A and B are shown apart, each in its own frame.
Chain A
Amino acid sequence: MTAQERPARRVFAAGTTIADLKEYMEPFAARLGYKFNTESEFVDEVLESEIEILERDGDVFCPCRVRTGDAKEDAKIVCPCIPFYLDQFAALRKCWCGLFIRTDVADGADLIGVIEEAESGTTVEVPVARLQDIPPSSARHVKIGKRDIAVVRVGDEVFALSNLCRHAFGPLSEGFLDGYTLVCPWHGWRYDVRNGTTDHPNADVATFPVSIRDGEVLVSVTVGRAH
């Protein structure tokens, strides 16, 4: 196992340094199609603030947002918060504060400063995984905003459909693949991953367009509201 593949241990003891945070966060962001901003002084300033917050509040909460005391809400602002705002950040090409930017952004300077929600209703291609991270003939669950989506790889093709079986809301991503057919793990309802159709009447599930670019799997959705 190379250093790149080794799972990072999340230890935030007293004395955590900027280098520790970088080493820990970088691989997580990379898996979702993000990298640290190219403005390295800005990155260090944000991470320094996070260390201050870690020492005061016990975790690396986003320096740009406030804890409300609601544990569920507060969990969504622990850095990196990318998974909670996949559609919003894909549209903005950065996380709220600009600490992370999309991998293909050459210069992140212009993305610093502005915090604006993407307009809801616009369509955006959301990076959900690297192709190399999804084994052939397997499925995984991805949450984009409020949507539960099953991302399914068949050979070198990838499809995206609603994760919820129309029968009893079984998690399709935990089902079995038979060619292009995804079989619900609960009662065996069968869905064609290419178009979401099933042999039960009026029970097709929604599908989402998928493209693969530079090894990234991108799912197209309309942007929902962040708050």
Chain B
Amino acid sequence: MIEVIDLHKRYRGRKVLNGVSFTAEKGQITCLIGINGAGKSTILKAIMGLTPVKSGLIRIDDAPVGPTMYEKVAFVPDHLTTPTGMKLSEGIQFMKDFYVNWNDARANELLKFFKLDRTERVGNLSKGTAAKYSLLLGLSQNTDYILMDEPFSGIDMFSREVIAEVFSTDLIEDRGVLLTTHEIDDMEHLIDQAVLLQNGSVQLAFDCEEMRTTEGKSVIDVMREVYTG
């Protein structure tokens, strides 16, 4: 379980995170939802230790975050960090050299699944293709958790469909997935838990199927109440 406890962060005088607390369980897809600037990406970066926070605690399987967690948690940022001059195959080799838990068979499987050309240069990829490649680099690590920052943002609908398919396969089964989005549309049926963020704190966190069972409300219904009510 990833636990985020009372996270605070200021940036240029603004309270970006103002006491954020939530948990993301293994074997579940948890979605951080919020409009642009709600602090979604900052939270993922904070979990990965990529940005300093003022106060608060992050624990992964009851242990504080540290260098060993990079073999336990994979991060798919919203833009590719692979050097643009590299071929896709070289980018994969690069990851393989860094990560003990790299799963080459899975990387090959995903190259086929996403129909990626391993000889293509990273800098030449379209936005949709870059998102698929980014996901490949994250999913090919045998980690217990995977964080994804806006995996659907700004991508054509066919690429979105292919990416959504990943969420109904064993590629994510048994892992804990924590992803961010500002538009829930394609994801509504796929996510287990929703965490609604506003003004740097969690307004509401709920189990989506439970919400449908007890209140007959879709995730979008709840979002409308929270954000416009």
A and B bound?
no
List residues of B whose CB falls within 8 A of some A CB.
none
Residues of A at the B interface (CB closer than 8 Å) are: none
